[in-house]
């Protein structure tokens, strides 16, 4: 927000309170952030300005089943101040997920709610109860290898995000990087999208394109896509938490 706009808003507020004895307002000493932040590295300027933003309604619930590198990237961006959010809870359906161990090391609330042998809705009810208990505002699926039941999705409309390692709608489902490599596409990438009741399907928030090189194999391609995932997820979370968007059919449109 520019200085002029801040002054205009302050002047409006002063006038509003004038009949009640007035109000003292101190403007911040520098402009507030407006441009999307850079999540490709430590952004100290963003870290500095984040302190001025509201901290309400920014509780994340992370669901994971494995390695947890996307969770790590999100946690790192929060720690550096590049992403203004709080991880309220990390939940894994697998006790052996390395991601849940890193969550514990970071001192976060880390829960294992085993899914093995449970009926899907029964497990989902336990997960939703834990998310509510931790007052989660936005759920981030980060390598969560469980389909959510329609009931789960309906509990948090447009409040569940997923990351998928291809440019959706191409190559949904498992081993997306291998699918793309085997198909012979020249570009692939990753997609962060809202979760709806169908697999890898909801409205798209952020996509990053990664070229497929002649020298690639499926693993080198997957590694370069993962680098972009780590940038894209925090970017998408930032968009949702800031709330400057609308959803028009399948299109997520940024407010002007
Ligand atoms: C990522 O490739 C993500 O796109 C997919 O599952 C993988 C999880 O990786 N949904 P990590 O556990 O975050 O490292």
Please work out whether the CB of residue 164 comes within 6 Å of at least one atom of ligand 1.
Answer: yes
Q: Ligand 1: which residue has its CA nearest to atom 14?
A: 69
Q: What is the pLDDT of residues 139-175, one digit of tens each?
A: 999 999 999 999 999 999 999 999 999 999 999 999 9
Q: What is the mean pLDDT of the chain?
A: 86
Main-chain dihedrals φ then ψ at residue 163, nearest 5 degrees? -115, 135
What is d(CA 52, CA 235) in angstroms, rounded to the nearest whole number?
19
Residue 155 structure tokens: 């509990």
Per the annotation, the verdict on 164 as an active-site residue is: yes
Task: Please tell me the pTM assigned to this model.
Answer: 0.81
Minimum-distance ligand 1 atom for the alpha carbon of 70: 13
In the chain, % of residues over pLDDT 90: 78
* CATH architecture for the domain at 39-156: 3-Layer(aba) Sandwich (3.40)
| CA dist list (Å): 28 to 18, 46, 54 | 21, 15, 14
Please work out whether the CB of residue 165 comes within 6 Å of at least one atom of ligand 1.
Answer: yes
Give the model's confidence band at 41: pLDDT under 50 very low, under 70 low, under 90 confident, else very high: low
What is d(CA 117, CA 131) in angstroms, rounded to the nearest whole number?
21
Q: Ligand 1: which residue has its CA nearest to atom 10?
A: 143
Cis link prior to 169 (omega < 30° from 0)? yes
Q: What is the pLDDT of residues 43-73, one digit of tens each?
A: 433 333 333 334 479 999 999 999 999 999 9
Intervals of CATH 3.40.50.170 along the chain = 39-156, 162-256
Please work out whether the CB of residue 142 comes within 6 Å of at least one atom of ligand 1.
Answer: yes
Please work out whether the CB of residue 70 comes within 6 Å of at least one atom of ligand 1.
Answer: yes
Q: How high is the pLDDT of residue 256? A: 82
Please work out whether the CB of residue 191 comes within 6 Å of at least one atom of ligand 1.
Answer: no
Give the model's confidence band at 200: pLDDT under 50 very low, under 70 low, under 90 confident, else very high: very high
CATH topology for 162-256 is: Rossmann fold (3.40.50)
Q: Which of 77, 160, 193, 226 to mutate to test the pocket of ligand 1 (most atoms within 8 A of CB)?
A: 226
Please tell me the distance between residue 235's alpha carbon and the centre of ligand 1 in angstroms. Answer: 16
Does residue 126 register a pLDDT over 50? yes
């Amino acid at each position: 927000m520019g200085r002029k706009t801040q002054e205009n808003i302050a002047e409006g507020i002063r006038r509003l309170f004038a009949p009640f004895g007035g109000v003292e307002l101190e403007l911040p000493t520098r402009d507030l952030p407006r441009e999307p932040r850079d999540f490709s590295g430590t952004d100290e300027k963003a870290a500095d300005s984040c302190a001025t933003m509201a901290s309400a309604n920014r509780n994340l619930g992370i669901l994971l089943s494995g390695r947890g590198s996307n969770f790590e990237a999100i946690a790192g961006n929060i720690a550096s101040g590049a992403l203004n959010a709080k991880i309220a809870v990390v939940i894994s359906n697998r006790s052996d997920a390395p991601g849940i161990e890193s969550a514990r090391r970071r001192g976060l609330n880390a829960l294992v709610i085993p899914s093995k042998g449970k009926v899907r809705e029964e497990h989902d009810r336990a997960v939703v109860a834990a998310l509510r208990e931790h007052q989660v505002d936005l759920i981030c699926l980060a390598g969560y290898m469980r389909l959510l039941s329609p009931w789960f999705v309906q509990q948090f409309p447009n409040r569940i995000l997923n990351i998928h390692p291809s440019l959706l709608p191409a190559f949904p489902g498992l081993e997306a990087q291998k699918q793309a490599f085997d198909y012979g596409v020249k570009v692939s990438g990753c997609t962060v999208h809202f979760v709806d009741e169908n697999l890898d399907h909801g409205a798209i928030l952020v996509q990053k394109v990664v070229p497929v090189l002649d020298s690639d194999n499926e693993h080198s391609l997957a590694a370069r896509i993962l680098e972009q995932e780590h940038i894209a997820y925090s970017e998408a979370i930032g968009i949702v938490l800031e709330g400057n968007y609308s959803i028009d059919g399948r299109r997520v449109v940024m407010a002007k």
